[in-house]
Amino acid sequence: MATNLRPLIEARIRTQIPAFKEVAGAADLTNVMAGRLSDAGCYIFHERVMATESDLIGATMQRLAVSFAVLIAVRNVRDARGGDAADASYLLQASVKSALLGWCPDGSADPLEYSGGALVPFVNGFFIWKESFITHQFIRSGV
């Protein structure tokens, strides 16, 4: 069985980026948006898993592409248009990329790769940006 990497990513961000006031795991985007957000908060969840077909006979071994979302939430009420919050978020985005890009969470996964970012609709005055990272793991049975 593949290792759950989400707690390892959470711990990495917590130790590498002290600017975050809160770093937490979540089940999905809906749960993050419905919960209490911190200024500057970081929330990590599994985004997607895709598997390749198995080439083995009498057993199954598949390579998984495992995608994680890292949500960055910042708030700056002094700027009504959100420019200051966007700038603060940009700095945190760079810190997250620096902490995770090429980092190998454990022996069961490949180093993390960046797969993109996107603005998430504002909630309660928070500027929310989602960064996505991907890694690969193997699962097997019958071996």
- Predicted local confidence at residue 57, as pLDDT: 63
- Predicted local confidence at residue 18, as pLDDT: 97
Whether residue 109 has pLDDT greater than 60: yes
Whether residue 81 has pLDDT greater than 70: no
Q: Bin 114: left if φ > 0, else alpha if -120 < ψ < 50, else beta.
A: beta
Tokens of 49: 């898993």
Return the domain boundaries, the chain. Answer: 6-141
Instruction: Read off the pTM.
Output: 0.87
Q: Which CATH class is domain 6-141?
A: alpha beta
Mean pLDDT for 13-42 is 90
**Helices and strands, number each (H, E), in the chain:** 3, 5
Higher-pLDDT residue of 55 and 117 is 117
Backbone angles phi, psi at 111, to 5 degrees: -60, 150
